[in-house]
Amino acid sequence: MRDAAPSFEGVLDAARQIDGVAVRTPLIESPALSERVGGRVLLKAETMQVAGAFKFRGAYNRISRLTEEERARGVVAFSSGNHAQGVAAAAKMMGTNATIVMPADSPAIKIAGVRSLGGEVRLYDRWKESREAIGAALAAERGSVLVPPFDDPFVIEGQGTTALELLDQAGEASLDQLLCPCSGGGLMAGINLVLEARSPATEAWGVEPEGFDDTVRSLAAGERMGHPEGKPSICDALQTPIPGVLTFPINQRALKGALTITDAEAADAVRYAFRTLKLVVEPGGAAGLAALLAGKVETKGRTTAVILSGGNIDPALFSAIIEDRFEA
């Protein structure tokens, strides 16, 4: 892990590092959505990224910098699924082995995705075991490099390239606000580094599932806070117990605020994305869209950017949602 703190200059360097490897995902504008909310909406479709989520950006930015000796020892990561697949994809490209610690209740499609990319999966009980402890032990045992899902400068800066692209694609459009799913805060922190430097007037909002509102609680308390243990959310990608050590200070100073959504609102967003936008988005990846559709921010006469962060949804859950069989 690098000693220097994440920075905007690091995001610019990450953009050079991932250029030609990561997908420059499209920025989509839907007249129907803009009409519904009474303002212009720009959707950054990270669902079309390598491995189906933004996580590949940070994973490749970190793993591509390994020395030859480090690549020979492999990497270890822990993730509910999207970082897992991003790491597995990046590791395969760089010719190194990847072992991923994943919750036993991860969507089967995400576990299968890791294995299809050559990654080794170590399952654990997210309610009784510590993924951080398991990952650290595996890395120590094998001499592997640990690639955290968010608390790593290279990972944060890699995720920040999402915003560099977004601002470039938006052209002269002035972004009044941005909605982004928030878990450990890596994507949000990377985006905030870019907004601070390039679009400081844009109000950034993190969006979390109800019951996993650690960023909301942390912003209110002025320090990193966890959340009480509760029932799982369909937003499986957003169930981190506490904001990151590196990510929270950035988000604390830069966020306008944080919002929560219910599982029913997440499902509504997944359904809307499929039926109206013709996009497949997983519940956690649709958190920003859910907040938008539920009216949790003012949109009339404003330009709002929304990050659709991932599209790796369990087929059975997806079917239930789009066929109106899902009950929160």
Annotated active-site positions, please? 55, 309
Cα separation, 81 vs 99, in Å, equals 13
Residue 257 CB contacts under 8 Å (≥ 6 apart), including other chains: 205, 206, 219
Question: How many contiguous H segments (helices) and E segments (strands) does the chain have?
Answer: 14, 10
Structure tokens at 57: 């950006």
Residue 72, number of CB atoms within 10 A of its CB: 12
Backbone conformation region of residue 278, classed left if phi is above 0, alpha if psi is from -120 to 50, else beta: left
Cα separation, 285 vs 289, in Å, equals 8
CA of residue 133 relative to chain centroid, distance: 22
Cα separation, 61 vs 203, in Å, equals 27
Residues 32 and 137 sit within 8 Å (Cβ to Cβ): no
Cα separation, 192 vs 273, in Å, equals 25
Residue 153 CB contacts under 8 Å (≥ 6 apart), including other chains: 1, 2, 4, 5, 6, 7, 10, 246
Cα separation, 88 vs 136, in Å, equals 18
Cα separation, 27 vs 306, in Å, equals 10
Cα separation, 184 vs 202, in Å, equals 21
Cα separation, 212 vs 182, in Å, equals 10
Structure tokens at 208: 């979390």
Amino acid type, 208: E
**DSSP reduced 3-state for 24:** coil
